[in-house]
Chains A and B, each alone.
Chain A
């Protein structure tokens, strides 16, 4: 039964895909031009008879000069239910008449001798560059052409008076009236941008006018992105749009090789379901030039290559990505070569970044020793007499060292000032039907930690070839990324005690900071760092995107695309045998080499037919029918070897063998999907808007019984500014749109293997019967797609002569059921099982406001203020006790995350604390019933806060005068809480063992309880016992950061032209330069945060 259904879906989908390929004939679409149809059978009729017959069937009124039409020949026509235009064209084509339809009035004019004249010229944009593909036509006639690649056009028009329309998406449509005349005309046309704000929405498949779009999306041009910073496009986007959330990573700070975690409008998935080769299930989908891409590719993308970035947030805007769109979509378009003579543009930038250690609050050597003494390290409980003496000797030794001036600031040891530079060059040009662009770019980043760098070399070749109504585009990109990570984490330095010396008396670095009976062996991070250990990664990515477009009619576009991306990622990790971690190892096992190779291939093909037209000037219709086919395959291979001789023998051939019990690793994952979609948009008089879509998706990721799913979306909008009552009465409103959408996008960032039951050979158990196979995973063949019911309501408002812009959006996303790994009683035979269960609701509000205090185009003076805000909440439901094992895990593994119905997954769960009892220095806990106790139990856990801020956003200001610009963006986070791990680990929870080994937070010395009566935040200084997680460590986290500050100057064009340059610009940026927070917490435990200053130069020859 199930199987049958599966096939039915398959057949339906395939039919849609097939329809696209076989049914797209120009004529079939052209018939939609007019809905009015007529059936005629006239023989030798007069013109009047003909018009009357048509009028009868269509209610069209004909206005014509009866004198002139008298001379026309008799009409013989037979038509069965044909569009009225078709019939009119047929009748008129042999006459000297032409007609125009406006509403239900047809005006018939007579032209002398049916003569034509030639109209030629070029259509230019604001920058005086030719615009290819501009539609040029006379309304409701057969006269139509489009501009070539240089923007040139040539069209024959009637000799009598006629109105020619020039239209191009994103530009204001122009109607130009040509008076009666016989001469050929040469006329250059300049089109201007449509509206002031984000005129178009690039969905990756269609480019839509923003004013007729009901979805929630925001677009940013390459220039806008660069104005926010040049380091990478992700960082810039974060400053520009409040819904684009780059999660704060307190561990990896400014590590250039650590990709950020990104969310658009919160999470749609539960944690946990992620394997080595799959992506973060909450990560948005990235589309690069129309093709699915990866976070890594966007992160590495040279910001100068970006023409625009669009964030699609709600169901209506992400509709075409259907089953992959639940987390939102980021669409990136790269620059296209422009026509004209050869141009060369160069962009270069240089950053200086320096580590930000202000969040660290570590003891100096004297404080550390004093703390140790108070803690009781040297008093040796139950120690023998000789030991007591030895302990004291150790204390005296440390004290003597400190008195001689030893106070090592280990934190600064692995750090440096990072110097980074980027260069990118683009040469483009072309003529006739051919255009090309060649780009080269380099990005060299030296992280603020030594041995941490990232180098990206890229090249790209863009070709466009145009042949009549056909256009071919090919974009090829090659990119090599090499990076190194430090082998000694920053935390090792943060842990080293300051009374140890960096160098011994001979000026050498000791292998161990301490090597004695009491303190044990403490490895010296500097020693390990000086070894030939390494962590290197090389990645080569090749991408080729090909696109063919055919425009048989001005309203119809047929497009086929194919993309191929292949990447090879190789990682080598080597730990020298000298490394202190191997101190206790057998000589034959010292040293470790690990090799990992991941190959990934992604193939994508798509076919779309788009038809867009305006009927009778009031009905704007567009319809896209398309299909997509996609495959991604990843293969991981690797091995580890151990046992290396000391010295420069860092390659696997020097090893003693595989790691004991280890074997070569191999795993692969393959995802495939097919889809067919139909998207339609309709607007009435540019006032009432409707978008709707349906997409049928098939994917290999989900259960063999649930491979197909349909996703849909509906959007409604109302352009109030086009209503008369606003136009007439409220003229301060320039733009006012209310829109809403609903849909059910899905998420398929999951591993294919979840739906499969798999077996593996167990080699250890060979017997008379041969080998045996055992179950490795129990798949769920009924695993359903995870879809999210996504509702959005928003408004866009522009007021006061375009001075005030406001965008507000409210969204409500319900993912039901979730795809989660639930715990089961062990008697089920599995400990966890992937299934569809429970739901998660994320709702929130985003707002953007911009106000121009000054705006004088004449003087080239603008000054604006802007602000953004995001408010978000999530809630889990319907999971019951199925995640109890996860909660138990959290309790035993020191996590404050719990999963219960009705709770927010970002909640912090802990037992409430009443603080430290001044009488005895012990912590008092508050039980669930409100009574106090010294006895901790997890039973008393309650929600004590939420890590997600109540509000987060940015505010800032831009000022520009003549060529000079200055901009600042601040980020604020308000109302969130955080479990302060630094305090938990470095102020309390200091065990007798770790006291010697690790440096601690100053507060351990100054703010812990010492004697009866002390009112202290932290427990008894000599208490080495384990402190449970309580609300005492949960603190408010309100922060304010100066995210970016930039100053720029655009040189006077007249001045630079003398230098032979057509434009030149200089910018300086500062990122993360200032930060203040209510929580004092170490940030960047594995890699410190950094502040940076950049300088950028760009010019065009």
Chain B
């Protein structure tokens, strides 16, 4: 009897074991890769995934070349790209989007940007389903950083592939990918993208970051912590609260929404703490310093990325002393003298003269103690504080010219330039702002977007390639969606 009972107990145990075991036994976890469950089982895992996404920006297909000093600056006519029609830089500068090599590159840019967005979306999904793994602060910071990054990438795709907004705001532009599902997203109009997707994402990011971003309480924290846990430090390498707000201003301005652009930009320019958090570059440390100048103006950088390959960019692309004409990118002769005044800190720190030519030294390596290189050694800027002032100035010039000119003068002043007169005409102010973009954001890809926004022709000061006059045209400013986007719809 007793034996019988124990057999029953054992049998029941076995049955229960099998039932629960069956389903689990079929769950397969490969050891050669990390699966989703493992990846997001810890705080470290979440931050590693966030780091992975931000690192994707470093790829030469994206901001490591094409979307900064490469394709975009070539299209923005920042360099003389020669006449060799097999050279990619030349082809970009000719806007030859049907060329095989260019269309392949366009395809890579597009594909990589959206693959990065998918990475973001997968993390965002897990962020919601595994909230309990993270503290509220971690949750909010990651969520804000990622929503903002998703908007950042979409905005750049919109600016590249979308219409010239002032002309065709309702034209179909790009899809907005906002879920981890592999599916076909509808192509939306530029207006739809900005107001129904980008701005809501950025508003949400701004809201969560405002509650948790250490940049608001402790500043940029651009140094290692003592315990080695840097997840909530180095805020300039993430789309922090300030970068997010400025990004929002950038998006409004792209849509010609000056009222909102001014509101967002002024959240930064008028922030009482901004001057201490992001102080203007100190000319004493910058000028005349040939060993370790901060050519990135890192203290003013609201958002940038970490690129260990930065000094190689100079060596392989801008080093006029050692490169053949076919690999070198430099503006046409005397152009720099045309654009900059000699007093400009940027003239002295970003360029070196080489006869009538100038080499861009923005990304040149510096002499450093390899054990403890300064933060700016590997920093490539993507969003500057100055842009807030430019946006505020541009957005207010019609409604509040006084304030507008003051904002612009703040930057001119910080660059060692003479201020413009308080009664300067609006058109002249705008022209000065445009020049400022060209002076300030060389090698960052923003100049092409600025020109597209104003639908500028490229001649004289706007053309560093040649003295030719390139008229504005949508065929040049609007990149065609790649084949890979149009098929399988």
Chain A interface residues toward B at CB < 8 A: 6-7, 10-11, 13-15, 17-18, 22, 666-674, 698-700, 704, 707, 752-753, 756-762, 765, 767-780, 822-831, 833, 835, 881-882, 884-885, 888
User: Given A769-B51, A778-B122, A882-B488, are A826 and B114 neighbors across the interface (CB < 8 Å)?
Assistant: yes
How many angstroms between the C-alpha atoms of A669 and B47 in the bound complex? 28
Q: In angstroms, how far is the closest chain B Cβ from the Cβ of A254?
A: 37
User: Given A10-B19, A758-B35, are A825 and B485 neighbors across the interface (CB < 8 Å)?
Assistant: yes
Chain B residues within 8 Å of A827, by CB:
110, 114, 174-175, 177, 185, 485
9 intermolecular pairs with C-beta atoms under 8 Å apart: A14-B15, A670-B30, A673-B26, A700-B27, A757-B122, A772-B50, A828-B185, A829-B182, A881-B488
How many angstroms between the C-alpha atoms of A765 and B15 in the bound complex? 49
The residue on A at minimum CB distance from B55 is A765
How many angstroms between the C-alpha atoms of A753 and B58 in the bound complex? 28
Give per-residue flags for B463-486: 1 if the beta carbon is below 8 A from chain A beta carbons, else 0: 000000000000000000011111
B321 at the interface (CB under 8 A from A): no
Give per-residue flags for B70-97: 1 if the beta carbon is below 8 A from chain A beta carbons, else 0: 0000000000000000000000000000
Question: Which residues of B in the span 56-75 have a Cβ within 8 Å of any Cβ on A?
Answer: 56, 58
User: Given A824-B184, A831-B111, are A699 and B485 neighbors across the interface (CB < 8 Å)?
Assistant: no
B115 at the interface (CB under 8 A from A): yes
B237 at the interface (CB under 8 A from A): yes
Given A6, A699, A760, A769, which contacts B47 in the complex, CB threshold below 8 Å? Answer: A769
How many angstroms between the C-alpha atoms of A772 and B45 in the bound complex? 9
A771-B52, A828-B185 known; 13 other A-B pairs, CB under 8 Å?
A: A669-B30, A700-B27, A757-B35, A765-B55, A769-B237, A770-B44, A770-B230, A775-B119, A825-B484, A826-B111, A826-B482, A828-B182, A829-B121
User: Given A762-B55, A768-B306, are A825 and B182 neighbors across the interface (CB < 8 Å)?
Assistant: no
Give per-residue flags for B186-215: 1 if the beta carbon is below 8 A from chain A beta carbons, else 0: 000000000000000000000000000000
Chain B residues within 8 Å of A671, by CB:
28
Given A14, A700, A771, which contacts B28 in the complex, CB threshold below 8 Å? Answer: A700
A826 near B182 with CB under 8 A, answer no
B250 at the interface (CB under 8 A from A): no
How many angstroms between the C-alpha atoms of A68 and B50 in the bound complex? 96
Given A673, A756, A768, A776, which contacts B234 in the complex, CB threshold below 8 Å? Answer: A768
Given B34, B482, B489, which contacts A760 in the complex, CB threshold below 8 Å? Answer: B34
Given A18, A758, A829, which contacts B33 in the complex, CB threshold below 8 Å? Answer: A758
Chain B residues within 8 Å of A828, by CB:
114, 118, 177, 182-185
Q: Which of B27, B55, B117, B234 has the most CB of A within 10 A?
A: B55
B224 at the interface (CB under 8 A from A): yes
The residue on B at minimum CB distance from A771 is B48
- Closest A-B pairs by Cβ, 7 of them: A829-B118, A772-B52, A772-B51, A10-B23, A765-B55, A833-B182, A823-B488
A672 near B25 with CB under 8 A, answer yes
Chain A residues within 8 Å of B55, by CB:
762, 765, 767, 772, 774
B53 at the interface (CB under 8 A from A): yes
Q: Which of A14, A699, A704 has the most CB of B within 10 A?
A: A14
Q: In angstroms, how far is the closest chain B Cβ from the Cβ of A1060?
A: 57
User: Given A700-B28, A759-B49, are A776 and B484 neighbors across the interface (CB < 8 Å)?
Assistant: no
Give per-residue flags for B106-148: 1 if the beta carbon is below 8 A from chain A beta carbons, else 0: 0100110011111101100000000000000000000000000
B9 at the interface (CB under 8 A from A): no
How many angstroms between the C-alpha atoms of A826 and B175 in the bound complex? 10
How many angstroms between the C-alpha atoms of A772 and B49 in the bound complex? 6
B489 near A14 with CB under 8 A, answer no
B58 near A765 with CB under 8 A, answer yes
A757 near B182 with CB under 8 A, answer no
Q: Which of A7, A753, A756 has the most CB of B within 10 A?
A: A756
B110 near A826 with CB under 8 A, answer yes
How many angstroms between the C-alpha atoms of A667 and B33 in the bound complex? 8
A778 near B306 with CB under 8 A, answer no
Q: In angstroms, how far is the closest chain B Cβ from the Cβ of A270?
A: 15
B487 at the interface (CB under 8 A from A): yes
Chain B residues within 8 Å of A885, by CB:
484, 487-488
B28 near A670 with CB under 8 A, answer yes
Chain A residues within 8 Å of B177, by CB:
827-829
How many angstroms between the C-alpha atoms of A15 and B237 in the bound complex? 55
B31 at the interface (CB under 8 A from A): yes
Q: In angstroms, how far is the closest chain B Cβ from the Cβ of A836?
A: 13
Q: In angstroms, how far is the closest chain A Cβ from the Cβ of B85?
A: 20
Chain A residues within 8 Å of B30, by CB:
668-670, 752-753, 756, 758
Given B33, B118, B308, which contacts A830 in the complex, CB threshold below 8 Å? Answer: B118
Q: In angstroms, how far is the closest chain B Cβ from the Cβ of A673?
A: 8
Q: In angstroms, how far is the closest chain B Cβ from the Cβ of A581?
A: 27
Q: In angstroms, how far is the closest chain A Cβ from the Cβ of B479?
A: 13
A774 near B484 with CB under 8 A, answer no
Q: In angstroms, how far is the closest chain B Cβ from the Cβ of A834?
A: 9
B11 at the interface (CB under 8 A from A): yes
B36 at the interface (CB under 8 A from A): yes
Chain B residues within 8 Å of A18, by CB:
14-15, 18-19
Q: Which of B21, B45, B50, B52 has the most CB of A within 10 A?
A: B52
B22 at the interface (CB under 8 A from A): yes
Q: In angstroms, how far is the closest chain B Cβ from the Cβ of A675?
A: 11
Q: In angstroms, how far is the closest chain A Cβ from the Cβ of B463?
A: 32
How many angstroms between the C-alpha atoms of A1000 and B23 in the bound complex? 60
Given B27, B234, B308, which contacts A769 in the complex, CB threshold below 8 Å? Answer: B234
B233 at the interface (CB under 8 A from A): yes
B28 near A13 with CB under 8 A, answer no
How many angstroms between the C-alpha atoms of A779 and B125 in the bound complex? 14
Chain A residues within 8 Å of B185, by CB:
825, 827-828
How many angstroms between the C-alpha atoms of A884 and B488 in the bound complex? 6
Chain A residues within 8 Å of B483, by CB:
888
B400 at the interface (CB under 8 A from A): no
Chain A residues within 8 Å of B116, by CB:
829
Given B18, B32, B174, B230, which contacts A14 in the complex, CB threshold below 8 Å? Answer: B18
Chain A residues within 8 Å of B486, by CB:
825
How many angstroms between the C-alpha atoms of A824 and B53 in the bound complex? 21
The residue on A at minimum CB distance from B223 is A768
How many angstroms between the C-alpha atoms of A769 and B483 in the bound complex? 37
How many angstroms between the C-alpha atoms of A835 and B182 in the bound complex? 10
A767 near B51 with CB under 8 A, answer yes
B39 at the interface (CB under 8 A from A): yes
How many angstroms between the C-alpha atoms of A666 and B52 in the bound complex? 22
User: Given A775-B122, A778-B182, A826-B482, are A14 and B22 neighbors across the interface (CB < 8 Å)?
Assistant: yes
B340 at the interface (CB under 8 A from A): no
How many angstroms between the C-alpha atoms of A707 and B489 in the bound complex? 30
How many angstroms between the C-alpha atoms of A833 and B50 in the bound complex? 23
Chain A residues within 8 Å of B53, by CB:
772, 774
B231 at the interface (CB under 8 A from A): yes
Q: In angstroms, how far is the closest chain A Cβ from the Cβ of B252?
A: 24
How many angstroms between the C-alpha atoms of A779 and B119 in the bound complex? 13
B121 near A15 with CB under 8 A, answer no
Q: In angstroms, how far is the closest chain B Cβ from the Cβ of A433?
A: 30
User: Given A768-B230, A773-B48, A826-B107, are A672 and B28 neighbors across the interface (CB < 8 Å)?
Assistant: yes
A707 near B23 with CB under 8 A, answer yes
Chain A residues within 8 Å of B119, by CB:
774-775, 829
A762 near B33 with CB under 8 A, answer no
Q: In angstroms, how far is the closest chain A Cβ from the Cβ of B309?
A: 9
User: Given A828-B118, A828-B177, are A13 and B27 neighbors across the interface (CB < 8 Å)?
Assistant: no
How many angstroms between the C-alpha atoms of A770 and B32 in the bound complex? 20
How many angstroms between the C-alpha atoms of A685 and B7 in the bound complex? 44
The residue on A at minimum CB distance from B39 is A759
Chain B residues within 8 Å of A767, by CB:
51, 55, 237, 306, 308, 378
User: Given A770-B51, A827-B110, A829-B177, are A707 and B35 neighbors across the interface (CB < 8 Å)?
Assistant: no
The residue on B at minimum CB distance from A7 is B23
The residue on A at minimum CB distance from B11 is A22
B54 at the interface (CB under 8 A from A): yes
How many angstroms between the C-alpha atoms of A668 and B33 in the bound complex? 9
Chain B residues within 8 Å of A758, by CB:
30, 33-36
